[in-house]
Amino acid sequence: MGYMETRFSYANIYRNYLHGVYLQDLIEFNDKMKLLLAGRYDHYNLQYARTTANDGKNECDTPPVDDFARILNNSFTYRAGLVYLPLPGFSLYGSISSFFQPYRTFFSETTIYVDKEGKEYTPDQRGEIFKPQTGYQVEVGTRYFWKNILSIEGSFFFIRKNNVNKTLKTGVEVGTGEDIILKSVVGQVSRIDSKGFDIEIRLQPVHGFSAFTGYTYTDSKTGAIASNPWMNVDPEQGNRFTYIPKNTFIAGAMWTAEKGIVKGAGIHFDLTYNDKVYRTIADHFYYPSYWLADLGATYRLKNKVTLSFQVNNLFNKEYFNESLGKQIVPAMPRNYLAGISYTL
C-alpha cells in the first residue's frame, strides 16, 4: 500500500473556565449524631472555535477572541447530610444534594434541535444550545458491621434530572436530489426520575476467605414528554430511560492460602447479572439481559512478584452491550488474561 501521510483539515479549540466558591461545615452534636452542611456557587465559561489546520499538519493558528462561541452559566448547589450512630457498628444516615451540569454542545449544521415543548428551533450559533442539566438526589440508608466478619449496607434513593438531552432520531434526510443531507434530531426530553434501592453484604468467616453479594433495583423513567414528529411515545406515559438496567446482581468469593505448600496461591469467582437495557426512549430496541461468570487465580511469590490468570466470560455466554445504528454488535466471548506484577 505504500507510505500514508496523516493530514488534518481542521482543529476544534476549547477553553474551559470554572470558578467556584463553596462553604462547608461539619457539626458534631455528640458522639452519636453529626450534621454536614455545604453550599457552592459556580461560574462556568466554555469557549469554542473551529479553525483550519496549517498545510494539513497537526498545527493551527489561534483564532481571534471574537471568533469564539461562548456558553456562560451560573449556579448554586447545596448538600446536607445527617448521620446517627445509636449502637457501636450500626449507623443510619440521610442526605440531600443538588447538582448542575452544563452541556458542552455547540451549533452543528447536521443537527435538528427540539425544545422541551417538542418544537423544532434554530439555536444561537454562537451561544448556548441547551439549558444545563440540573436536579437533586435524596438518599437514606444504613450500615452494620460486626468485627471484621460481617458487613451489611443498604440504601433507598430518589434522583431527579431536569433538562436531559437525548438523540430522538438519526439519519433524517433533509433536502432533495444531490443536496440531501443526513441529520440527527436532538432534544431535551423534560426530566428523568430514578428511584430504587441497593443492598450489599460482605462476609469473612475465616482468614483467607471472603464472599460478597449485592443487588440494585433502579426504576428510571422519563417525565411527561412533549409530542414531536420524531418520536412515537405517549407524552403522558413514563417510559424506561435508556442504558439503565432495572435489576443488577453481583456475587463472588475469594480464597487465599495462608500456609502450607500452596501458601500465596489464591482463587476468585464472580457472577453478575445485568437486566435488559433499552436503547431508545420509545422502548422499541433493547439489549437482552444476561448472566456472566469470571474465574481467576493468583500466586504470590516470595520475591514480591505476583502471577495472575483470569478467564472472563467463563461459560462463553453470547450477550450484547453496544451497537452500530440498529445493528447490535456481539460482546466479547470467552477470553483470557495473564499478568505479572511486582510490589515495591
List, as one string, the DSSP characters of 53-67: BSTTSS-BPPPPGGG
Q: What is the reported pLDDT for 224?
A: 64
Which residue ranges of the chain lie beneath pLDDT 70? 1, 189-190, 224-225, 231-238, 282-284, 325-326
Provide the b/e sequence for 251-270 (b: ≥16 CB within 10 Å). Answer: bbebebbeeeeeebebebeb
- C-alpha cell, 172: 433524517
pLDDT, tens digit, 9 for 90 and up, residues 155-183: 999 999 988 887 777 778 888 877 888 88
The alpha carbon of residue 78 and the mean position of all alpha carbons in its chain are separated, in whole angstroms, by: 21
**Cell match 470467552: residue?**
334
pTM above 0.95, yes or no: no
The predicted pLDDT at position 225 comes to 66
Identify any residues that bridge with 184 across adjacent strands, giving them in sequence order: 111
Nearest to 304 by CA among 266, 253, 264: 264
pLDDT at 5: 79
User: Whole-angstrom Cα distance, residue 202 to residue 145?
Assistant: 9
pLDDT at 282: 64
pLDDT at position 169 is 78
Q: How many contiguous H segments (helices) and E segments (strands) does the chain have?
A: 0, 21
320 near 288, Cβ under 8 Å? yes
- Give the pLDDT score at 237: 59
Q: Which of 94, 103, 51 is nearest to 73 (CA)?
A: 103
What is the largest distance, in Å, between two alpha-carbon atoms of the chain?
Answer: 78
> What does the pLDDT read at residue 343?
87
The structural domains of the chain, ordered by start, are 1-99 (no CATH), 103-342 (2.40.170.20)
Side chain identity, residue 25: D
Partners of 297 in beta bridges: 267, 309
Which uninterrupted H or E stretch holds 202?
strand 191-206
Three-state DSSP class for residue 155: strand
pLDDT at 152: 97
